A and B are shown apart, each in its own frame.
Chain A
Amino acid sequence: MNRRNFIRTTATISIAALPLGKLNAQENKEKKEFVGVLVDTTRCLGCRLCEVACSEEHGNYVPDVKNDHALEKIRDTSEKQWTVVNRFETKNGEVFVKRQCMHCWQPACTAACLTNAMFKTKEGPITWDGDKCMGCRYCMVSCPFDIPKFEYNKWNPKIQKCNMCYERLQEGKKPACVQACPKDALLFGIKRELMEVARHRVYSYPDKYVHKIYGEHEVGGTGWLYLSAVPFEQIGFRTDLGTTPYPEYTKEFLFSVPLVLFGVPALLFGLNLLTDRKNELNKNERWENE
């Protein structure tokens, strides 16, 4: 075997041994596209069956939708109800808007959580794990939509928020609210496909919808998308949140932490050595002078 051949064979063997092909295959298998829900507020009638279905699914407070007149004021989701429907009076008449966790692509709550109790699953829903959470409520401080809710009146409080019915998704079912919607105002699917549907609706009826899909870019993109006939500010959405994913705001600080930990101790030690040397020199000089 001459040298050239030897090199050639070893090179081929080592390249073949590299698990490159395998890695690629794994990556494709692991890659699951995030799911989401498209809410078409022009279709919602305000029947609030989604609220009932949600609470029944998760064992929360089930509202009496016929008699409680809850639509009369604007409500927020609470530790008892993961989703609520609000009524807004606009120039196009009544508009009903469902509110729940937006399931951001780059969620602030999971970046805030120091125990990984808030967890972005690879399917897209953000879930909460009571065995890990220590109740610091930093997720509530960070969430741009004010979604995580805390049980202040329990000794053993939980963080309550929509988990997009993660258990149902595992079984291949749709979220309970989507299942319960009688008017197809909620559409469950992969976000890429939902965006196509949403754009199609906007382009097909350019006069019916405002030309914006809320959640396409907001805070880096969210799992829940909204279509509307009136500007989103008028139906209770914050439009000043920007398109930067929220974890980006702390990224630079967190990156600088190891830099400081590498550099500053060395710098301080160096300073200390310098001052020592100065003292020594002073002593020596004095010695000579005497």
Chain B
Amino acid sequence: MSNKAVLIGEFRKFFKFLIQEMKPRGKWLTPFNIISIPIILLGLVILFFRFTKGLGSVTNLSQQFPWGFWIGFDVVTGVAFAGGAYIITFVVYVMRVEKYHSIVRVTVLNGLLAYIFYAGALVLDLGRPWHIINPIIGNSFGYNSVLFLVSWHFLLYMIAEFVEFSPVIAEWAHWEKVRKFVSALTLGAVIFGITLSMLHQSGLGALFLMAKPKIHPLWYSEFIPILFFVSSIFAGLSMIIFEGIISHKVFKDLIGEKSHYSYEEIILGLGKGAAIAMFVYYFFKALIFIHEKQWVLINDFWGYWYLVEVIGFVLIPCFMFAYAVRNRSIGIIKIASVLALIGIILNRLNISVIAFNWDVANKYYPSWQEIVVTLMVVFSEIWAFRWIATRMPVFSKEN
């Protein structure tokens, strides 16, 4: 009896706390809010039409281009960008490199939110989303499908990331016992999460293995899964650098000088990792280029476009990272990380949209509604991130 009363009391206290935390903090009319609120509202209107009138009413998808910007950018690119979480947890929890401990929480939060929002954007693209539960339960296990694997891994990885992040939530809600319990699960969740990441990062590439006659031969290779995995490493690292620079400006007062490794040192370390990963990736590309004898394809528009991607946005940022690390230049690292991210966007979009059915007369290009909805997804992710980052102890190190 008294136990129950205590429980109800606790629950009420937590509920009050939650209500109090829901309230917005700080100024309302920031430039970011002024831009993002109308776009999110507009996106919701577009989504209303999308769910009542069908995908064709707001997208430029066609029978020849069943997957467009929502899959190619939101899901395939977004998940590559979220790769930072598995790399940092590997370095910190598995290899026990203390240097990066101070960015673990924020990176895991970014990864978790990226999966919830970007992989969640998959639901918007499904024609019959009320059946999304079918591959998870029931008698409809399509084990033979790469997408089956990818969707299961999304789900499991979100759970693993949530477990990795849950100590922060418990700390925020002052649940000391829960915090101790979930902290003990961290290493298990990390190991499971890294394994899942390896598989679904490459699985996103493996999705396109059966589209062999449709993808331009310069981008199609039986090694797409390996290329996707390796490129997700430097995509994740570049994203951490990029996000770190922004959040260092925006959340300046939240980031204390708790870590005795300076922020600069961390960025340089990440840049070093990115340089090496990109170097290896470039030679993977070169190996495939030789193996498939692709030099006969290089002397036309698609060949030049391929060179732009591989040299302009892989090799050059790779050298920039290396140069910046040697000369300890944060400025060049920033530029290199942006170039590397553009390179990832180009690569993923090339495979899923641009060089997909490259010889078809009616090429696909995203409609403005598709772009607005994509922006909506990105902005709402930033909103969620900001809400959590200003309330939970995300930028601190203790664990």
Contact = CB atoms under 8 A, between A and B. Distances in A.
A250 B151 CA distance: 16
A138 interface: yes
B63 interface: yes
A114 B151 contact: yes
Nearest to A138: B147
B118 to A, nearest CB: 16
Interface in B240-283: none
Contacts of A257: 149, 199
Given A141-B211, A253-B203, A114 B145 contact: yes
A253 B213 contact: no
B249 to A, nearest CB: 34
Contacts of A116: 140-142
Interface stretch (A91-99, A167-175, A192-200, A239-247): A239-247
Q: How large is the interface on A (under 10, 10 to 19, 20 to 34, 35 or more residues)?
A: 35 or more
Nearest to A143: B210
A253 B146 contact: yes
Given A134-B134, A257-B199, A265 B192 contact: yes
B302 interface: no
Given A155-B53, A249-B209, A134 B126 contact: yes
Interface in B333-392: none
B38 interface: no
B56 A152 contact: yes
B297 to A, nearest CB: 14
Contacts of B145: 111-114, 138
A78 interface: yes
Contacts of B135: 114-115, 134
DSSP majority for the B interface? helix
Contacts of B211: 141-142
A272 interface: yes
A45 interface: no
Nearest to B135: A114
Contacts of A252: 222
A98 B365 CA distance: 31
Given A253-B146, A260-B195, A135 B210 contact: no
Nearest to B51: A155
A152 B55 contact: yes
Contact of A264 (B140, B195, B225): B195
Contacts of A250: 146, 206, 209-210
Given A238-B213, A254-B149, A268 B127 contact: no
Interface stretch (B91-99, B102-110, B173-181): B91-99
Given A135-B127, A260-B198, A268 B94 contact: yes
B195 A261 contact: yes
A275 interface: yes
A271 B94 contact: yes
Contact of B95 (A79, A117, A249, A275): A275
Q: Nearest 10 pairs between A and B by C-beta?
A: A135-B127, A152-B56, A114-B148, A137-B66, A135-B128, A140-B66, A142-B210, A134-B131, A114-B145, A114-B142
8 contacts: A111-B145, A114-B135, A115-B134, A135-B131, A138-B207, A249-B212, A271-B95, A272-B94
Given A116-B140, A272-B187, 14 more contacts: A112-B210, A116-B141, A141-B207, A152-B59, A155-B53, A241-B213, A250-B146, A250-B209, A254-B144, A260-B195, A265-B195, A272-B94, A272-B95, A272-B96
Interface of A: 76, 78-79, 108, 110-117, 130-138, 140-142, 144, 146, 149-157, 238, 240-242, 246-247, 249-250, 252-254, 257, 260-261, 264-265, 268-269, 271-272, 275-276, 279
